[in-house]
Amino acid sequence: MPDLNREAFNEAADQLRREGHEVFNPAGANLERLSRREILKYEANWLFDEAEAIAMLPGWSMSEGASMEYSIARAIGIKVIRL
């Protein structure tokens, strides 16, 4: 997607914050300097160590990264929110 769908990530993160949630937004985490493998490892570790829920943007299933995050969330019992 254009610009890695940052606009949608940022809009969703802003909305969730307005609702009182603490949000990790991968599109705003300045991970661009990392390799894809390092990014996925960082996100997976965050899910295991920090996350209480994960929010999925429309079309998430077309993203390998989001699909990995979804699979991890389901496997370890993290709540999945579909936006």
Distant-in-sequence, close-in-space partners of 6: CB < 8 Å, separation ≥ 6:
27, 28
Q: What percent of the chain has pLDDT over 90?
A: 84
pTM over 0.75: yes
For residue 15, name the pLDDT band (cuts at 50, 70, 90): very high
Q: What is the pLDDT of residue 26?
A: 87
pLDDT in the model for residue 48? 96
**What distance in Å separates the CA atoms of residue 50 and residue 72, rounded to the nearest whole number?**
13
Q: Give me the domain span that covers residue 22.
A: 2-82
The beta strand positions in the chain, using DSSP E, are 53-56, 79-82
Asked if the model's pLDDT at residue 1 lies above 80, the reply is no
Q: Could you tell me if 47 and 69 are in contact, meaning their C-beta atoms sit under 8 angstroms apart?
A: yes
Q: How many domains does the chain have?
A: 1
